[in-house]
Amino acid sequence: MNGHATVSNGASDKIPAESMDYFATNPQPPTLRFHSAAAKAFIEQHARENRRVAIVTSGGTTVPLENQTVRFIDNFSAGTRGATSAEYFLEAGYAVIFLHRQFSLLPYSRHYSHSTNCFLDFMTHNDAGAVVVENEYQKQMSSVLDRYRTAKKENTLLLLSFTSVNEYLWTLRELAIQIQPLGANGLFYLAAAVSDFFVPAERMAEHKIQSSEDFNPSHPDGEDGEGEEAPAARMEGKKLVIDLDPVPKFLKTLVDTWAPHSMIISFKLETDPSLLATKARYALEKYSHQLVIGNLLNTRKWEVLFVSAKEGERWIRVPAGRRTKSHTGFGEDMNAAHSGPAIEIESLIVPAVAKMHADMIANGDPRHAA
Ligand code: PAZ
């Protein structure tokens, strides 16, 4: 199946040429057909049940340097923001399509799967020799298990994975097209860390790049001498040289064409505090969607900046002494004076987002207000 062919709303003339070119020149991933079919059935079910659907993206995208990939560039993200937020969206009554980096954190299992919280540490043998959960973890694990089972029973959580930025982009586009019939009941929560640069298919080396000069074809002047372009990642003498193309600005296309009626929330990650608000405002202006959530690498677990046309700028913060120490959400910040149990910031972010979404459904898209 060609996912592209499903752009059937006559809107393709509004898609920026660079985005069209991208899908014409970068191959559709083999997983797309399965993802598309699963998403279609999921969205149809929740449309029938009149449930809002959130597409939550999570984890980092890779940029492979070779077709038969041994080496790749990666983007920072453990998947904590996405996996944790997905749980709170489910709690708020949404059905969730969790588009995540393969092997990054998942809703519910995130509490136990990471190496710092190995599930085996929660287990013990009882007197009869059976494996059981340690007494002190019973209450907490039972609550996670109940919520996990409910999501399974009601089929409200669909897990779809990607690895490369190409898989991510193709799948995001497919989901956006699939969710169009839901109109304003669809929501995108784009927490994945998506690479800004990539190796286009036509400049991708087929085989593992050889580090030894003795095994490397030479590419004088960046060309191979026969008019063909040199691979984007190549050895020049003893150096590995990588020149990457910019990834087209898909957020614009998502907002204007792929999902024009959905609520769209993007994230902006910075490391320099003096740039965060400016960059978040810039993104909101450039892409004209409903909400940008800014966060800083070092403080992202306890403060974020909401920037929207309707409400301007507002910080959401976990009070000191209530910060989590890890992705599990159960531990507390050992460096802080405690004033109560730990609070995950996503438990504050998601209800605030859901409220804005409900407002948009009830009163219309604030971007179109007179
Ligand atoms: O996955 P995580 O919890 O370790 O990190 C989350 C995050 C910082 C990647 C996310 O909140 C975010 O800002 N995503 C967008 C990154 C960007 O492309 O700017």
* CATH number of the structural domain spanning residue 326: 3.40.50.10300
Token pair recorded at residue 92: 């708020």
User: Residues 26-82: pLDDT tens digits?
Assistant: 999 999 999 999 999 999 999 999 999 999 999 999 999 999 999 999 999 999 999
Taking the C-alpha atoms of 126, 131, 133 and 136 in order, what is their torsion angle to the nearest 10 degrees?
30
Share of the chain above pLDDT 90, in %: 79
Residue 205: what pLDDT?
A: 94
User: Residues 220-261: pLDDT tens digits?
Assistant: 544 444 557 889 999 998 999 999 999 999 999 999 999 999
Same structural domain, 216 and 334: no
User: Is the CB of 194 within 6 Å of ligand 1?
Assistant: yes
Q: Read off the pLDDT of each residue in 141-149 and give the average, rounded to a whole number.
A: 97
User: Is the CB of 266 within 6 Å of ligand 1?
Assistant: no
Question: Mean pLDDT in the chain?
Answer: 90
User: Is the CB of 108 within 6 Å of ligand 1?
Assistant: no
Residue 313: what pLDDT?
A: 98
Q: Is the ipTM of this complex over 0.95?
A: yes
Domain end, chosen from 211, 243, 275, is at: 243
Strands (E) located in the chain:
53-58, 62-64, 72-74, 95-101, 123-125, 131-133, 157-162, 186-190, 197-198, 233-236, 239-242, 245-246, 263-270, 291-296, 303-308, 312-317
Best residue for ligand 1 mutational test, from 295, 316, 346 (most atoms within 8 Å of Cβ)? 295
Q: pLDDT band at 1, cuts 50/70/90?
A: very low
Structurally, the chain folds into a number of domains equal to 2
Same structural domain, 87 and 213: no
Token pair recorded at residue 176: 């956006």
Alpha-carbon span 117 to 121, nearest angstrom: 7
Rounded to whole angstroms, the maximal C-alpha distance in the chain is 75
Same structural domain, 159 and 287: yes
User: Is the CB of 345 within 6 Å of ligand 1?
Assistant: no
**pTM of the predicted protein model:** 0.91
